[in-house]
Amino acid sequence: MVEILNYRNSLPLDSMLLEYRLESVLGAGGFGMTYLGYDTLLEKKVAIKEYLPVELAVRSPDGAIVPINSGSDYNYQWGLERFLQEARLLAKFSHPNIVSVIRYFEANGTAYMVMNYESGLSLSQMLKRVPEPDEATLLKILLPLLDGLHAVHEAGFLHRDIKPSNLFIRDTGQPVLLDFGSARVATGATTRTMTSILTPGYAPLEQYSKDGNQGPWTDIYSLAAVLYRAVTGDNPPDVVTRLKDDPVMDRLLATRERFSNVFLHGINRGLEVDEKKRPQSVNEWRAMFTGEAFVAPARKSEH
């Protein structure tokens, strides 16, 4: 089951948002809070995400979200529109490995996404229960996630915040990509929120600069870092420290008795510090794990 937590900054439990009754807080991050809700019309559980950027806004006594000051108003409204854009985009997806947004609306001076409630646990929680998963288990998680990530990239979107807590394993074993909001909101922001969404160890070097060359290879690095965590049992080293002293390859090679060379090679390639040396697409990276030959898309001829 999902770990249920309490947060002082949440809306009062048992309060109503339209037809949704808030039952508990599932989690919170720098850009939002997620509630377990109950749809009183359809009589089913849902997950509801609220846009609440803690660096820019606070909750007033009446429950509304308001910018901290007039100087924060522009960035708050900019982020709110990006949150709504993300909701519109995710609502268009119907993929078993991408979180499903079934509705979004504005209220309390902010916005909300309503998602199907999934029973299961995060990969972060799973790794606490099963600290040494084998290669077959990790491939059953990785390959479906790559299918979902490929669909995201094909739509012209990047996740930018993949880490164990943002990967969810349903009770059926099927993995799901969660939480597209933080990175999407932060991209191009004029405040320091750009760096606040970075998770040391899981963010590639290009995410440390607003001018960084971000693309599918950016998400590949983060997902490779997740695999590194699962394989070695330790969080991956921060990419900035790797510029001076890089232990990644040695740590991966130390696990050769438990994992195949092909599997470890795929992780290592995904964790290249230089984004140009990484696989440039999900299909290219997937081929490293499956042993299939990757054929690069043909370039359009120039006339």
| Catalytically annotated residues | 161
Tokens of 51: 């846009």
Tokens of 33: 């809070």
Backbone phi, then psi, for 299, in 5-degree steps?
Answer: -75, 145
* Cα–Cα distance, 22 to 36 (Å, whole number): 6
Beta bridge partners of residue 22, listed in sequence order: 37
Residue 34: closest CA among 197, 166, 169: 166
Residue 276: closest CA among 215, 231, 230: 215
Angle (CA) 14 15 16, round 5°: 120
Angle (CA) 24 28 32, round 5°: 110
Instruction: Give the SS3 label for residue 299.
Output: coil
Instruction: Give the SS3 label for residue 148.
Output: helix
